[in-house]
Structure 1
Amino acid sequence: MRAIQKPIHETVKETESRKSSINIKFIILVSAVAAVGGLMFGYDTAVISGAEGFIQQRFHLTDVMIGWVVSSLLIGAIIGTAAGGILSDKYGRKKMLFVSAVFYGIGAIYSAIPSSVAELVIARLIGGIGVGMAVFLAPLYIAEIAPANWRGRLGSLDQLAISIGQSVVFFINAAVASQGGQHWNVTTGWRWMLGIGAAPAILFFLLLFFVKESPRWLEKKGRSQEALQILNRIHLEEKDAKKELAEIKEAISQENGTMKDIFKPGLRKALMIGVVVAFLSQWAGINAIMYYAPKIFQTSGSNIDSAFMQTTIMGVVMVVFTVLGLLLMDRVGRTKLISIGTAVMAICLFGIGLSFSIGQSSGSLILFFILLYMAAFMTTIGPGMWVLLSEIFPTRIRGLAMSISTVALWVADYIVSQIFPALLQDAGPGITFFIFAAGSAIISVFTIKVIPETRNKSLEEIERMFIRTAK
């Protein structure tokens, strides 16, 4: 029997009344700790941009082989994401976040000491498993513990941590590279760049001891008393905690949680949105720019020192505009931000491609377009995609469904990072960036036409919304 839907004005009143009963300090604390997992992802996506040129010279690699070294981490990420989705539903979000920190830490240390390219690839595969787990578990956990009216901002903390990790590593890469000449960097410098990545893994592991398990996962496992204890920490009034627990129980009671369940009407649409947005986000060019930023700047005519300096400017822009995205996510809404942001990204990428094509690829012009592109990405789809993926699936299958979407992201990321060096060399930078511009434009249109707005809705309300639209 279908539940009677409350009038909109009553739902708004309930949402407003809950705002004052939320323990914001506790919510921000545990969300910020979980978001530190993004530092690992951010560090690794950016560190390879400074190291790949030296690694290519150290092991005498072709463009195809350096593409494999860069993208090998993504194979590990696919494994980590696929396993993490299943294991987090079985053993809990917190335990698997611990596991992700261990894998990434081992991978970072091992990547600093390889004597062959095969060992380096193995190290990056191991680290990739940790990255794959953390990159979707952190926003998933935040979505399950955060109140509806704060979920966008708190979910954006994960992207902020990613941006900080990327920004910091640009400075680290530049600092390490300045410690010696070309020979020193080829033999030793890149090892320091990769090995320092163990620091965010250790920090993440230690901070996780202060994190509580997801109350939604606990209730799913029949541990209602533990779930209520955590909800009492989230809410200042016990009646609000009990009310949220009742809503969680009702939503879970209507879920079966099997693979077959994912493809039911409503949930099937949610999965389609998750997979398409995750896959296309990589064809918008973000990680190609992150992995190969110095190479792109050198292609535009900059020398290696200028290229490293330009990446540090990128890092500052990323952090500043991620903070802006954090502030706007719950005020403007997911779909409006993503659609506008990806349209701006498409224009910037087209501008980069056109600059290369007509032979006007000055370093300053390319830098301008890339900075504007990064600003648009970090304000909109950067945080928006992870917030969206973390909130459109029901509790019982959230880990599995989000891991499927994230695997789609890693597959696309692997393809792009593997072919980018050869594409840049063979097709030329103009065609390469035209392809990325098309990817951004497709996301913008898809967002406008297909994705419903989820701002200020509880996870249970979002689930019911998808089911209603499928009927």
Structure 2
Amino acid sequence: MNFKIVFIAFAAALAGFLFGFDTAVISGTVELVKEQFNLSDAGIGWYVSCALVGAISGVVFSGYLSDKYGRKFMLMLSGALFLISALGCTVSGSFTELVLYRLIGGVAFGVASMVSPLYISEISPAHMRGKLVSVYQLAITLGILIAYFSNYWTSLAHERGQDSGFFLAKLLYGEQYWRGMFFNEVFPVILFLGCLLFIPKSPRWLMVKNRIDAARQIIDAYQIEYQQQKTEVKEEKTGFFKLVKGIYRRPMLIAIFLMVFSQICGINAIIYYGPSILNEAGFTLGDALGGQVTIGFVNVVFTFVAIYTIDRWGRKPLLRFGATGVILSLLLISLMFFLGDSYANYVIVGILLYIACYAFSLGPVQFVIASEVFPTNIRGRALTISTLFLWGTNAIVGQTFPMILSELKAPLTFLLFGVICMPAIWIIKKYIPETKGKTLEEIENSWK
């Protein structure tokens, strides 16, 4: 095993950890912020989805800037923005300020969601690429889990402020302890920025920039697979319409489909509004936060399943099995809500089954395939477009879910998610190619 490559992938994947942490930390603050600022359902929707609007903004410029200044530069920029967001949310004095800093955090994880898997795919050997890019998704799930632990611990610190073990936290966070939930993100941000100091620039990006000697030094030093000759690599000024037609059309549609499906199946409704959903099932806020820790743990465990199997079984089988499991889980959750309070515990079972199916399939595979299918000379801009669809769909779900939940109630809401997702099984079977074991250059040539 090439441990240098593993470290590089780990360092870049920490962007995913921050993405996951920043995404999930919001769930513990929703009810507290709603009460403090007296927010309506629409206001809560904006509080949650404003970061997603920021993510869309981050994606818009990250493709262009990653092609112009490099993948490493953009990773460092995302780290700086994560730091500003975490500190700003901690000290914000009004709801408007809080939204502003959430927008900045959104820009950060918009950049991270596009650049991190892109960078990892460009430095990974073909036989390990699925595994290493999946480490990015593992980092997201770990970030989500640690955010849940952090939220739960911070709530305990508030409740047990007189206990010696929690006195300092009580002193720091005071009554508005949701601020402490945001502040806890500062520590992994510092780790991420420190690790970035020790990783190289992407050699494939250097090749596109015609910096051949610098690229070759990195390729030789880190034993990176690279098959394309320098005469075959040149930067291409490709507009939007060229990216959605000709030889680029099929990979673009594949990436867009995976990004959209990964969101309309409702994953982030559960991540953002988990405590609210569990409250709907009859759990208290404290029990709901504890339940989300269990959800985060299952998310991490089954992401390891994807890492172990994605380069053995392939991308397509994981997608098919996982999508089927996700749909059946949504229908089960809907049924348990229909049956009433006596089946509340089975709602948790359905959610855990849903998370498990998502974690070993849609979660990691969407990023793996999207980072593989595009040619090097347009990969940054093409990923920008597909990732825009991810965050656009995410923002719509995040904004509308509390209103849909309020109007339709939980049984019909989860039934709606399940029905919407059903056509995906046929699309995966018919249109998604298998890219296991192929170099990026072989995948690129297959479209030609």
**Short-chain TM bin:** over 0.9
Aligned to 2:275, which of 291, 294, 300?
Answer: 294
Q: Distance in 2 between matches of 1:363 and 1:186?
A: 33
How many percent of aligned residue pairs carry the same amino acid?
A: 38
Q: Which of the numbers 433, 437, 440 marks the counterpart of 1:452? A: 433
Quote how far apart the aligned CAs of 1:438 are.
2.5
Does residue 394 of the first structure (1) align with residue 395 of the second (2)? no
User: Aligned partners of 1:438 and 1:202: how far apart in 2?
Assistant: 43
Alignment of 1:196-211 (within 5 A): 196-211=184-199
TM-score, normalised relative to structure 2 = 0.94
Amino acid corresponding to residue 233 of structure 1 in structure 2 = A
> How far 1:149 sits from its partner (Å)?
0.7
Deviations 1:268-326 (A, max 9, x none): 11111111211121111100000011111110011112111111111111111111111
In 2: Cα distance, 1:111 partner to 1:441 partner: 39
Q: Measure the CA separation in 2 of the matches of 1:418 and 1:344.
A: 26
Give the deviation of 1:129 after TM superposition.
0.7
Q: Is the 8 A contact 2:209 2:235 kept in 1?
A: no
Equivalent pair of 2:15/2:192 in contact (CA under 8 Å): yes
Indicate the residue corresponding to 2:79 in structure 1: 101
Corresponding residue number in structure 2 for 1:14: none
SS in 2 for 1:344: helix
- Cα offsets for 1:2-31 (capped at 9, x unmatched): xxxxxxxxxxxxxxxxxxxxx611111101
Instruction: Indicate which of 55, 62, 69 corresponds to 2:33.
Output: 55
Contact 2:59–2:114, Cα closer than 8 Å, also in 1: yes
Distance 1:148 1:112, change over 3 A: same
* Residue type at the aligned position of 1:158: Y
Instruction: Quickly say closer, same or farther: Cα 1:115–1:361, change in 2 above 3 A.
Output: farther
Conserved? CA contact 2:336–2:344, under 8 Å: no
Which whole-Å CA distance do the structure 2 matches of 1:216 and 1:154 have between them? 17
> CA RMSD of the aligned region, Å?
1.9
Deviations 1:185-237 (A, max 9, x none): 994111000121222222111110111111110000000111111111232xx
Match of 1:170 among 136, 142, 148: 148
| TM-score w.r.t. length of structure 1 | 0.89
Structure 1 position 258, deviation (Å):
4.4
Classify the secondary structure of the residue corresponding to 2:312.
helix
> Number of matched residues?
438
Partners in 2 of 1:149 and 1:336 — Cα distance? Answer: 17
Q: Compared with structure 1, are the counterparts of its residues 179 and 254 closer, same or farther at alpha carbon in structure 2 (3 Å cutoff)?
A: closer
* Residue of structure 1 in register with 2:164 after alignment: none
Q: Does 1:348 align with 2:329?
A: yes
Match of 1:7 in 2: none
- Spell out, residue by residue over 1:149-195, the C-alpha distance to the aligned partner (whole angstroms, 9 max, x if none): 10000000001110111111111111111122499899411100012
Q: Counterparts in 2 of 1:226-245, with a 5 A limit?
A: 226-235=214-223, 245=226
Match of 1:407 in 2: 388
1:322 counterpart residue number: 303
1:191 to 179, 184, 192: 179
Residues 301, 361 of structure 1: 8 Å contact kept: no
How far does residue 264 in structure 1 lie from its aligned partner after superposition? 3.6
**What amino acid is aligned across from residue 329 of structure 1 in structure 2?**
I
Counterpart of 2:129?
Answer: 151
Q: Which residue of 1 aligns with 2:42?
A: 64
Aligned pair in 2 of structure 1 residues 367, 453: CA closer, same or farther (>3 Å)? same
1:265 deviation in Å? 1.9
